[in-house]
């Protein structure tokens, strides 16, 4: 039995409309939220992928909290100003929305699961930024 009265079989398996994943029986529990790094190391194409001691700009993580830690934002599709987020804009562009002149959007992963772009084993073709 878990502290919130649930069992291992009913925790963190149901996606809620607000994008969090919680306890199926609705007895509380901590939700999981996708967050994206607003600051950090600017990634280089083909560069080393190991040994980083801080986040990589634009990386997405699962976070079991009801707030976005400093330097992160929730992946809920909000618009950010290009003028104050130029490095992140150079990575994301308007892939997830925005006008590309003054603002751009973060990915909206509420109630979603991110998948790799390209052709899936089932034959579905996934395009960067597309939602199914």
3-state secondary structure 67-80: CCCCCEEECECCEE
Asked if 63 and 75 count as a contact pair (C-beta separation under 8 A), the reply is no
Q: What is the pLDDT along the chain (132 residues), one digit of tens a residue?
A: 334 343 333 333 333 444 444 443 343 445 789 999 999 888 776 655 555 667 899 999 999 988 999 999 999 999 999 999 999 999 999 999 999 999 999 999 988 777 778 887 888 888 887 776
pTM over 0.95: no
Instruction: Provide the pLDDT for residue 89.
Output: 98
3-state secondary structure of 86: helix
d(CA 27, CA 67): 20
């Amino acid at each position: 039995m878990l502290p919130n009265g649930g069992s291992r079989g009913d925790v963190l398996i149901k996606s809620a409309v607000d994008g969090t994943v919680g306890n199926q029986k609705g007895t509380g529990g901590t939700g999981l939220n996708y967050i994206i790094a607003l600051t950090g190391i600017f990634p280089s194409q083909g560069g080393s992928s190991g040994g980083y001691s801080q986040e990589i700009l634009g990386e997405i993580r699962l976070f079991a909290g009801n707030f976005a830690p400093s330097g992160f934002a929730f992946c809920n599709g909000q618009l950010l100003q290009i003028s104050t987020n130029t490095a992140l804009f150079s990575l994301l562009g308007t892939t997830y929305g925005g006008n590309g002149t003054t603002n751009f959007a973060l990915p909206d992963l509420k109630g979603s699961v991110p998948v790799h772009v390209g052709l899936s084993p089932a034959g579905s073709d996934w395009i960067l930024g597309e939602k199914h």
